[in-house]
Amino acid sequence: MKNESRIKYLSGNIEAIKKKIALLGEIRPGTLTEQYNVCGNPNCRCKNEKNAKKHGPYYQLSYTRYGKSTSEFVKRGNVNKVKKQVGDYKLFMKLKDEWIDLSIEIAKMEREKAK
């Protein structure tokens, strides 16, 4: 009976994970970075030896999908949206891994029970 109650408990955890996943919004993999650049104009403020002020910030999202690396600039007005998408992706991946681990544990317990 101990295994059966443990399986019920683990199954309940899986159901909770499914509910959390259902609440996620759009998801995007990657890392969002803030960058500052120096231009090619020798008289620009970004080249000032005493008080250089680089251009920016610019935001870039970098990720690999299907073996292909991609980087794209993100408009300042979309930064918060992209941050949420990347955060939801990370949460999705964490929840997915938890779901898999729980499922493996249940499968092992059921296999032992069948012996």
3-state secondary structure 42-102: CCCHHHCCCCCCCEEEEEEEEEEECCEEEEEEECHHHHHHHHHHHHHHHHHHHHHHHHHHH
- Report the pLDDT value the prediction gives residue 1, as an integer from 0 to 100: 52
- Report the pLDDT value the prediction gives residue 100, as an integer from 0 to 100: 98
Residues 6+ apart with CB under 8 A from 59: 32, 33, 34, 35, 73, 74, 75, 76, 79, 82
Domain ranges of the chain: 2-114
Coil, strand or helix: which one is 31?
strand
In tens digits, the chain (115 residues) has pLDDT values of: 588 899 999 999 999 999 999 999 999 999 999 999 999 999 999 998 888 999 999 999 999 999 999 999 999 999 999 999 999 999 999 999 999 999 999 999 999 887 7
| pTM for this predicted structure | 0.83
Token output for 26? 């759009």
The residue assigned the tokens 């891994």 is 97
Report how far residue 2's alpha carbon sits from residue 78's, in angstroms, rounded to the nearest whole number: 51
- Report the pLDDT value the prediction gives residue 10, as an integer from 0 to 100: 96
